[in-house]
Amino acid sequence: MRHHAFVVEAGAEEGIAIAQEWAARELGMQTRGNPDIVALRHGLLSVEDARRVTELAASAPFAGESKVLIVSASRAYHEAQNALLKLFEEPPEGTYLFLILPNAGGLLPTLRSRVHVLGAPAASPATRQAEAAAFMKAGKEARSALIKRLASGKDEETRRANRDEALRIVNGMEAAAYAALKESGGASVTAFLSDIATVRGYLYDRSAPVRMILEHLSLVMPKNLL
């Protein structure tokens, strides 16, 4: 039996790409320029946003027999999740729903029970550590050049890949900070971990201030991480 409702645990653009690939593979749909594949991008998903999703789901497909509705958000309010319960339990016939979240841990149990959770391929811990180590060990000029590259991109695909790399660097820095905290502690390491927890969520947004985030972490990074 084919699932009709999914949650993809990934960044916005990566999750949208996963949903589009699923539509092409499972439904044989053309993903480029297809009005029956709709992608909505949100920061915080509100009740009003959820109601809009329900309205869009109720309309019939334009061209074929299937419609795919993709909703990405950095977070979804519990009230918004509750507003989606009935839709995700019984989507209109031929309608397939995808909710893209950077972390599925905040899903309400009632919504989780109605969806099939998909995960994006993750970089290995060794890859994250290597990228973070290269960033932390780099000299001022080399680090500035790396930050400049990660904050740029001629198209959305390149910018998404750069955001993903920046996120892996931040996660690797966090792992190094936890290791340093376990070994020697220190208020500076604790403060650094707090900074990472604050800014990391922004990297899941397609308009993420990558340069500002990496420059800030570069400035406040404790010297005892490596």
pLDDT at residue 121 greater than cutoff 60: no
Residue 188 exposed, middle or buried by CB count within 10 Å (0-12, 13-18, 19+): middle
Return the percentage of the chain with pLDDT > 70, whole number.
Answer: 92
What CA–CA distance (Å, rounded) separates 165 from 147?
11
**Mean per-residue pLDDT over the chain, rounded:** 86
* pLDDT per position as a tens digit, 210-221: 999 999 999 999
Q: What is the pLDDT of residue 122?
A: 52
What CA–CA distance (Å, rounded) separates 200 from 60?
38
Q: What is the pLDDT of residue 225?
A: 76
Query: What mean pLDDT comes out for the span 160-172?
Result: 83
Q: Which of 60, 102, 99, 58 is nearest to 81 (CA)?
A: 99
Q: What is the pLDDT of residue 112?
A: 86
Q: How far is CA 157 from the centre of its chain?
A: 14
Q: Is the pTM of this model over 0.75?
A: no
pLDDT at residue 127 greater than cutoff 80: no
Q: What is the pLDDT of residue 84?
A: 94
* pLDDT per position as a tens digit, 169-220: 888 888 888 888 877 768 888 899 888 888 877 776 667 789 999 999 999 9
Q: What is the pLDDT of residue 120?
A: 55
Q: What is the pLDDT of residue 142?
A: 93
Q: Which distant-in-sequence residues (6+ apart) come within 8 Å of 145 by Cβ? A: none
pLDDT at residue 123 greater than cutoff 60: no
pLDDT at residue 157 greater than cutoff 80: no
* Structure token digits, residue 12: 């916005």
List 101's β-bridge partners, or say none.
Answer: 9
More confident residue, 10 or 38: 38
What CA–CA distance (Å, rounded) separates 200 from 128?
15
Q: What is the pLDDT of residue 31?
A: 85
